[in-house]
Structure 1
């Protein structure tokens, strides 16, 4: 599983212009089962995506297709982690034990 932290590298005006395309991109990734959660940071200087368990190269390719990435509007930091505990009733994919 991955935490993806986006930091905007452009004005909020440019971010807002690209936001409809970014939201369409997010919708497609949720529908494909690639993303589990997403939303803006507070204060609004970027966003966070929680991505499901996949190969890192696949995630990198998915993130490269984000309109924010394609237009150079955000920098991405990816942190991989192995979820070993979940809150009750939270249905997230757990990695296989090593």
Structure 2
């Protein structure tokens, strides 16, 4: 599982010019089952995305295709973690520690 932290590198007015394309990109990855949750940080200086999977290269490729990244208005910090405990509603995403 991954936490993708976006930090805006441009004024929010510049970010907003690419917001609809970013939302469309999010929708695509919700539809394919990669994204679990997302939203703006407070204060609004970026956002957070929770992504399922264990292929870091794939997640990095997805982040590189974000319209915000392509437009140069954000930077990503990607943190991989093993979700060994989940709420019952997220049990499908529970992972075992590597042997």
RMSD: 1.2
Conserved 8 A contact 1:53-1:95: no
Write out the 4+ residue segments of structure 1 that deviate beyond 3 Å after TM superposition: none
Structure 1: stretches of 5+ with no match in the other structure = none
Structure 2: stretches of 5+ with no match in the other structure = none
2:70 counterpart of 1:70 = yes
Aligned mates of 1:51, 1:8 — CA distance in 2: 19
TM-score normalised by length of structure 2: 0.92
1:18 aligned partner: 18
Aligned mates of 2:90, 2:7 — CA distance in 1: 27
Conserved 8 A contact 1:53-1:94: no
1:61 aligned partner: 61
Offset of 1:87 from its aligned partner? 1.4
Q: 1:79 to 1:30 in 2, by over 3 A?
A: same
Count of aligned pairs between the two proteins:
98
